[in-house]
Amino acid sequence: MINKQANARNSWKTSNRHEPGERLKDVIQSSGRSNIASQEKQLYFKEDPSSSSVSDEDDSLGGLDVVPGSFIVTRRNDIESFGISFGFDYEATQRQVVMFTANGDIWRPLASDITFILPSYIPLNLVERCGTEDVPVGSQLNARTEVLKRLRDLVRELESKYSHISRSVADVYARFKNKDPNAWGEVSVTEVARMIEDNPRYPTIYAVHRHLMNYPLHFVARTPYLITQTFDIRPQNEVRELEKVLAWKRMNDGRILSFVEKAKPIIAETARRLEASALEPPSETPVSPIWNEDDQTIIDFLRMSIRQTRSNQADPYLISRSAIMRLLDPSAPTIDDASVARMLTNLGVFPPWQDLIVIQSTLDIEPEVDSKSERTAKKDKIVERSLAFSPAPNTPLGPEDFYPSDPLEAVRHDFGQLPVFVIDDPNAQELDDGLSIERIPSEPGSYWVHAHIANPTATLPPTHSFAIDAMKQGTTQYLLHHTMPLFPGSLMHHPQVGWSLGAQKGKPSRVLTFSAKIDSSGELVDYQVRAGVINNIHVVSYQSVDKLLGYDMEQLGVIRRPFGGPAPKAAAEPSGLSEAEKGDIKLLHQVSQTLQQWWLRNHTVRPFQVSSRVSVGAFPPGTMTPTLQYRQFQGFPEFKEYVVEGDSSGKGSSMMVAEIMKLAGRVGSRFALKHNVPFIRRTGEGPLFYSPAHREAMMAARRPSGVIGDHEVASNVAAMYPADYSLEPGAHHHIGAIEGEGYSRVTSPLRRALDLVSHWQLQSALLGHSKPTFDVDWMDRFRISFARLEKTRGMAGQYHEAFWQSMFLKRWFSGELRGDGFVPSNPEAVYDGFLLDRGKRSSIGGMFVFRVCVPHLGVRGPVWGVNNDSGRPQPGSMIRVRLKEVILGIKPKVDFEFVEFA
């Protein structure tokens, strides 16, 4: 029925006749008057009941400007829609495109739904006459009729081109797949389009884009797709296995039924054993293999189906996965990642503590610490060879050659015995920044504040394999149970050449120092960037510095433990510091507060989200790395803590470090601008308030550090613009960088590839080179690639943290939590929450589902069953909720149940 209606509604696409104006007016008027959305529109906008507690919609357009009048193509829930952009609208801080569709109605998809743009297709003066409301008024109808005519002409052209390219692109997979049958490949839309035309025009580019998007068996759109216009190509072996299982399912092959019959008793026995041993320590008992080759093919199919997907492309695993799962468990209410992971646990493939994020092949993460890791051993060997051989001066450097000597040695400033404070967590491995301060006797109230940053580019040229690997990885990946560093630990902590500050025992550390002169009002009045050496390094923890400054974050309520747990170790002041050095730390904190006051005078508000974190004990080695054979697990690791963290941005050591690092980023951008060095900056606009009254209300409500909470954002702010990367020195509201100054990433070269690139650029300026290390074109390409890598790594980290937070809540909720001192499970506990949006109609029962933040738990999630006789509740409304369900999928989710309005 849906297809028949859709075909009738879209029959104009295949017609060569131009439609009369009166007919187009009728289309527009009937679309605007109808109170019932088309079934196509309902399917496009349906709320996914498995939506994660972590939002992965990328609102950033990466510098692309979707100007009104642009032709756009959007995709969601496997539905493609064509339209003209009439501008942007905002709903609970989400940016929506006001899109006039080829069916004559107004849609408001998310900016992240856009997959194709043809800028300024319709003249701006015509678009401005169309209006943006759902129903046109007066002359708006005539303007929209003209737009619809042009839009449909374009769509017919694109449809025609798409229907004629199939032969030209039939061998794309065979041509571009990775030669390694187990490795992913990549291909851009432009590369494929050039197979058809030397200089492809937009119809060909669109047709190729659509072809690749429609073949998810081979091609997976790379996020953020609108910017990258690139597809990852599935490994050959994965495609073969996928096709094999799809064929078995289609042919009702007996191998699937044979596997199901063998699996059912194992599933039942494993479930009983895991339930009985839930409060025991984790363990694995060796057992004999039971799965044959065909069984393992099905198991691997299920395992690989647990992957991050986006709503703009179909999932080739979905239908066959559901069919197999229904055979294994006919009573399962829903089939999703969480239920498949639970099934693989009951099949003995996953341990009950399996982290689903670390086994994603596209992330290239080692699932756990492995002392025998081939990757680690290979990098350690490169470290040995690179240190053993020193190339001759002025000779080309090979992929394992470090610089023969420090390029900046002749211009390094020796900071003598100036105390430098490296403040970090006690277990931090990458110590890449230190702080110091100098008084200016002739100018009371003014100070030189220094950010001393580890300087790996003193050793590492951009031609080294470590540099190339770092730029491919993007950032360090932090996990609860281990870390995937940007550089090997054997190099960062080497006693002779280690890059981590203080690693070279008894020797000074080489740094790039970003110095800012701050006056009594918090104004940045002068700056310097110098290569330096620091000698008097003090490594101290955040907690010890807070103690020195008189802050107890637990007593202040910044850190809370809503479930109890082991008592935290009491912090002590930093040891080994003189009174003068302690005075320097206090003075740094004072100057940081002055910087915050300057920000408050010149800016509005920043958003703040209460968050939570957990720590978990050890599990048996090797168990986090799945195999395709049956393994017998029992028990579960012990949780160490569940901590909810509030706003500490206005006080203490973390605020102090953050303010000075932001200052360093502004100084780095200024220096690069002065020396005409191509540089990547981070830019971001301030919030867009609903009205001047909302702005004033938030200015009055903001905390001393300028932040406002989730519920205040939801009810007063139309949009919080995402930050973007740019080569221009634009403003960054949240940081405090002004237009023409810019803010750059320069403070973390040991864990972020962008900062490493920034250091090479600054190094060329410090040496007075006429050409920078990288030209403008290279930097612009790296800007795009790094933004993608950072987003991917960042989302993986958020999902990883959310997975373990959700795991804690699920086991506490079910009374299966291991750990000392935690409060007993109370499924009936009621919590205060704040609505974050106006709700969306769910595909389940047609009920509205809202997003809610629950500060007591430090989590967000959907809340079900909200009702209000006087109408739909507004964002920011306070309600009371209880935990409903915790779903441990690739995108973990904590569901809440509505209790009452507060």
244 belongs to a structural domain: yes
- C-alpha span between 144 and 28 (Å, rounded): 8
240 in the same domain as 229: no
Domain end call among 233, 259, 279: 233
pLDDT at 53: 57
Q: What value does the CA radius of gyration of the chain take, rounded to a whole number of Å?
A: 29
Q: 429-481, pLDDT tens digit by residue? A: 899 999 999 999 999 999 999 999 999 999 999 999 999 999 999 999 999 99
Query: Is residue 23 exposed (0-12), middle (13-18) or buried (19+ Cβ within 10 Å)?
Result: exposed
Domain end call among 755, 782, 798: 798
Cα–chain-centroid distance for residue 893?
A: 16
192 in the same domain as 65: no
What does residue 652 show for φ and ψ, rounded to 5 degrees? 80, -175
- C-alpha span between 55 and 709 (Å, rounded): 17
389 in the same domain as 337: no
243 in the same domain as 226: no
642 belongs to a structural domain: no
731 in the same domain as 675: yes
Contact (CB, 8 A) for 547 and 572:
yes
Domain end call among 233, 256, 277: 233
Per-block mean pLDDT, blocks of 10 residues, the chain (902 long) = 48 66 86 70 69 55 76 92 92 83 92 91 96 92 96 95 90 95 95 94 96 95 87 95 95 94 96 96 93 96 90 91 95 91 96 95 86 87 95 93 96 97 92 97 96 97 97 95 93 93 91 98 97 96 96 92 92 94 97 96 93 95 92 96 89 95 98 97 93 94 90 88 92 96 97 98 96 96 93 92 96 95 94 91 72 95 81 88 94 94 88
pLDDT at 50: 45
3 belongs to a structural domain: no
699 belongs to a structural domain: yes
Contact (CB, 8 A) for 192 and 208:
yes
6 belongs to a structural domain: no
> How many domains in the chain?
5
CATH number (domain holding residue 869): 2.40.50.140
185 in the same domain as 157: no
Report helix angle 318-328 to 293-304, nearest 10. 120
421 in the same domain as 438: yes
Quick check: helix, strand or coil at residue 276? helix
Looking at residue 349, what DSSP letter applies? Answer: S
Q: Which three-class secondary structure string do you get for 682-739?
A: EEECCCEECCHHHHHHHHHHCCCCCEECHHHHHHHEEECCCCEEECCCCCECCCCECC
502 in the same domain as 432: yes
814 belongs to a structural domain: no
pLDDT at 4: 45
pLDDT at 60: 54
653 in the same domain as 747: yes
607 in the same domain as 461: yes
- C-alpha span between 42 and 29 (Å, rounded): 19
Q: 26-80, pLDDT tens digit by residue? A: 888 887 666 656 778 888 887 654 455 565 555 555 556 789 999 999 999 889 9
pLDDT at 887: 94
594 in the same domain as 469: yes
pLDDT at 18: 67
Q: 320-331, pLDDT tens digit by residue? A: 999 999 999 998
363 belongs to a structural domain: no
211 belongs to a structural domain: yes
Strand-pair category, 524-534 with 413-414: parallel
Cα–chain-centroid distance for residue 376?
A: 26
- C-alpha span between 371 and 589 (Å, rounded): 41
459 in the same domain as 399: yes
Residue 863 belongs to domain spanning: 826-901
